[in-house]
Amino acid sequence: MNPATGEVMAAVPKATVGDVDRCVEASRKALQGAEWKKMDPAQRGRVLNKMAAVTYEKAKELAVVESSNNGKTFREALSEIRYGAWTLEYFAGLTDKIEGTTIPVPGSRLNYTLRQPLGVTAHIVPWNFPLQLALRSIAPALAAGCTVIAKPASWTPLSLLAWGKAIDEGNTGLPSGVLQILTGSGSLAGNALAGHSGVDGVVLTGGVPTGQAVMAKASEQLTPVTLELGGKGANIVFPDADLRYAAKAICFGIFMNAGQMCWAGSRLLVHEDVHDELVEAVCAEVGKWKVGPGMEEGVRIGSLVHERHRAEVLEKLEAGLKQGGSLKLGGSAVEGDGAFMEAT
């Protein structure tokens, strides 16, 4: 769905447990076929570089899909796609630099480390940076010789699917079955992947409750899990700060991607001597941040990702006001189509 208009963009498969089983089986077959994991590391790097080149080439097309499906501005989406391509390039350069060590020991024994691919890896991707955060974990897994199953968020599957299609058609040299994209709900497909006996590692970027659920499911198989969860970013402003510059930085830190970031600057710790002046400067700066459809020229704050997410934002705002907070600016849903929220 396009959250800026409420229009349905596409229908995607909703994976069942059986689909997950077949996907894992195909991934294990690709791993055991050894074409990828035993490929010369330098050649594996060349494949990743070709994948990066395809991503750069298709960046504008992918950014249109990302903006339309996620609600973010086209400029933000394009930056995200290009960063994802750079991530592929970066890990392409590391494929032939995976080294072990040799330790001197007495006698005729030999003591050394041998690094091998972990195996089949499952990547559960969030909705706020659907392609960038997918590539952040996909790239190192591929560089190490692992096979990959990526599950995009239910709200934002389209950019990862479009990227996968571009890679499939891009003549990159990636063997069949090494990279798969599985669409479905987190509660069904995500849980089935996390707890699957054929998965050797799970990567999740998401909220704390989701991380807890995935870790609990993976623990049934003693599968290693890598989690990147939510956070809170604080801005600290002292009396000697340039308040106009601080106001611009504060707005960028909280309103980029419509504030939907784990590192968003959602806390302001301000010295009392400059509190009122800073609040005034921030309110003035907020007025320059136009809210609207992400593909529209001059827009700096796009739609929130989903109507349900906007409802959650409004609930939290109401809770803050009940706990003694005060509202200086905004605070309402924007009337009309789409999941827009006033800069608040």
Band the pLDDT of 233: cuts 50, 70, 90: confident
228 a catalytic residue: yes
318 a catalytic residue: no
Q: Which CATH number does the domain housing residue 305 bear?
A: 3.40.309.10
Q: Examine the domain organization and report whether 42 and 154 are in the same domain.
A: yes
Position 224, amino acid: P
* 315 and 174 within one domain: no
Domain co-membership, 177 together with 252: no
Q: Which among 57, 169, 262, 342 is annotated as catalytic?
A: 262
Specify if 110 maps to a domain: no
Whether residue 255 is found in the same domain as residue 241: yes
Q: What percent of the chain has pLDDT over 90?
A: 92
Q: Could you tell me if 343 and 286 are in contact, meaning their C-beta atoms sit under 8 angstroms apart?
A: yes
Is 50 contained in some domain? yes
CATH number at residue 81: 3.40.605.10
Domain that holds residue 259: 234-322
pLDDT value, residue 187: 93
Last residue of a domain, one of 228, 262, 290: 228
- Per-residue pLDDT tens over the stretch 172-226: 999 999 999 999 999 999 999 999 999 999 999 999 999 999 999 999 999 999 9
The count of domains in the chain is 2
Residue 160: pLDDT over 90: yes
Choose, from 61, 228, 277, 307, the residue flagged as catalytic: 228
SS (H, E, C) the chain: CECCCCECCCCCCCCCHHHHHHHHHHHHHHHHCCCCCCCCHHHHHHHHHHHHHHHHHCHHHHHHHHHHHHCCCHHHHHHHHHHHHHHHHHHHCCHHHCCCCEECCCCCCCEECCCCCCCEEEEECCCCCCCHHHHHHHHHHHHCCCEEEEECCCCCCHHHHHHHHHHHHCCCCCCCCCEEECCCCHHHHHHHHHCCCCCCEEEEECCHHHHHHHHHHHHCCCCCEEEECCCCCEEEECCCCCHHHHHHHHHHHHHHHHHCCCCCCCEEEECCCCHHHHHHHHHHHHCCCCECCCCCCCCCECCCCCHHHHHHHHHHHHHHHHCCCCCCCCCCECCCCCCCECCC
Average pLDDT, the chain: 95
324 pLDDT exceeds 90? yes
Question: Does pLDDT of 232 surpass 90?
Answer: no
Which pLDDT value is given to residue 102?
A: 92
Q: Please report which confidence band the pLDDT of residue 34 belongs to, taking 50, 70 and 90 as the band edges.
A: confident
Instruction: Let me know if residue 25 belongs to a domain.
Output: yes
pLDDT score recorded for residue 2: 96
pLDDT tens string 104-147: 999 999 999 999 999 999 999 999 999 999 999 999 999 999 99
Mean pLDDT of 298-316: 95
Say whether both 37 and 54 belong to one domain: yes
Q: Are residues 197 and 292 in the same domain?
A: no
